[in-house]
Amino acid sequence: MQKNRAVLQGTHFLSGDLACAEGALAAGCEFFGGYPITPATEIAERMAKRLPEIGGVYLQMEDEIASIAAVIGASFAGKKAMTATSGPGFSLMQENIGLAVMTEAPLVIVNIMRGGPSTGQPTMPSQQDVMQARWGSHGDYEIIALAPSSVQEMFDLTIESFNLAETYRVPVMLLADATIGHMWERVKIPPQEEIPLSWRKKPEVAPAKYKPFKPDENLVPPMACFGEGYRFHATGLTHNEEGAPATVSSEAQDRLVRRLCNKIRRNTKEIMKIEEIMLDDAEIVVLAYGITSRAALSAVRMVRKEGIKAGLLRLVTIWPFPTELVTQIAKKSRAIVVPEMNCGQLVREVERAAKTTPVLLLSKLGEEPHRPSEISSALRKAIK
């Protein structure tokens, strides 16, 4: 019997970057288009080795603009496709992220965040691209972004990213950081049949009746791919349901752009993944995501021992932001502490949702993620 080479089964000691590559392969990814960049390069290297083994395509493009363009092309040619990068490359990708949003291309973009702006600190971690992930391309749109906090999650959430991309026909971002990308931990890979996979919905009508941008009830249009006989057209211009440019119609603009936003907004509950830890009686809450949430959990446990009723709200999905949930939690809390490895990005969303509850930013830049002690002292101060 031929071994299934796509799913590396069993328990392995992997870095975050390698786990991400293995997660992608387990998710059915057959196309990687990328450009070397620290600290995401190991994803490309692993894919270059592994993709030929399963008959997939590793393509090293001339820059990140080309990488994402090729990935969109591969997606429309019917493949699950991805790219992986870091800040400078992520910046270069922004225009075509808009193209992927506009033409509803399912694909995954991994950003192993490093210190910025500009070339910044290539080997150091950060969470400085959180708002760029949300708003980086021009125009109005909604995006899905996930924040892994362990090497195991680099594997699991890469699969989840592909599933969300295929379900909603959107580019999905996996926002990790240099610490997680380069950290080594144990990863348990389940048997292939236990990994749930999603695939884009295919059209059920004859080619002559197919409208490439006519949505189903969940606001997502079924997707034909090139070569399947549907002969459709897709464009970055504002378009109608037939895919024809509608560049001067206010109605077409309103309808299309609102649908692109609403297909995420109205499905937020299905998309959203969060972890609520010791929140039931919590008077003070840490809201954290990514690597920072690990120190946050230690800090919460630490102060609990001292009798402080603290809890942790860990966001696995950071976009769409769970505004309603944060509002509810804020109502019951005396304060929310937000540790971030930036000068304060997601904290703005928290403030917006928390309304009158005080929100305290614990900002950190540079090599080290937050220490548990830094978060626990913030909790002690906040409760006074």
Site residues, another protein (CB under 8 A):
2-3, 5, 30-31, 33, 52-53, 55, 57, 59, 61-63, 65-67, 69-79, 81, 95-96, 98-99, 103, 225-237, 242, 244-245
Q: How far is the CB of 113 from another protein (least distance, A)?
A: 24
Q: How far is the CB of 31 from another protein (least distance, A)?
A: 5
Measured at the CA of 349, the angle between CA 345 and CA 352, to 5 degrees, comes to: 135
* 29 versus 40: smaller Cβ distance to another protein: 29
* 26 versus 176: smaller Cβ distance to another protein: 26
Q: How far is the CB of 270 from another protein (least distance, A)?
A: 28
Position 126, amino acid? S
Q: How far is the CB of 170 from another protein (least distance, A)?
A: 17
Whole-angstrom distance, CA of residue 5 vs CA of residue 372: 40
Position 81, amino acid? A
Name the DSSP class of 164: H
- Taking only Cα atoms into account, the Rg of the chain, rounded to an integer number of angstroms, comes to 21
Instruction: Spell out the SS3 assignment of 295-335.
Output: HHHHHHHHHHHCCCCEEEEEECEEECCCHHHHHHHHHCCCE
Whole-angstrom distance, CA of residue 99 vs CA of residue 65: 12
* 5 versus 266: smaller Cβ distance to another protein: 5
* 245 versus 344: smaller Cβ distance to another protein: 245
Q: How far is the CB of 99 from another protein (least distance, A)?
A: 5
61 closest CA partner among 81, 33, 23: 33
Q: How far is the CB of 294 from another protein (least distance, A)?
A: 37
What is the enclosing helix (H) or strand (E) of 265? helix 250-265
Q: How far is the CB of 217 from another protein (least distance, A)?
A: 26
In 3-state terms, what secondary structure has residue 43? helix
Contact 376, 299 (CB under 8 A): yes
* 105 versus 159: smaller Cβ distance to another protein: 105
Q: How far is the CB of 67 from another protein (least distance, A)?
A: 8
* 105 versus 347: smaller Cβ distance to another protein: 105
Q: Where are the beta strands (DSSP E) in 126-180?
A: 144-146, 171-177
Work out the number of other CB atoms within 10 angstroms of the CB of residue 136: 17
Name the DSSP class of 370: P
Q: How far is the CB of 48 from another protein (least distance, A)?
A: 11
* 61 versus 131: smaller Cβ distance to another protein: 61
* 92 versus 379: smaller Cβ distance to another protein: 92
Residues in the chain: 384
Strand 144-146, strand 317-319: pairing: antiparallel
Whole-angstrom distance, CA of residue 165 vs CA of residue 158: 11
* 14 versus 72: smaller Cβ distance to another protein: 72
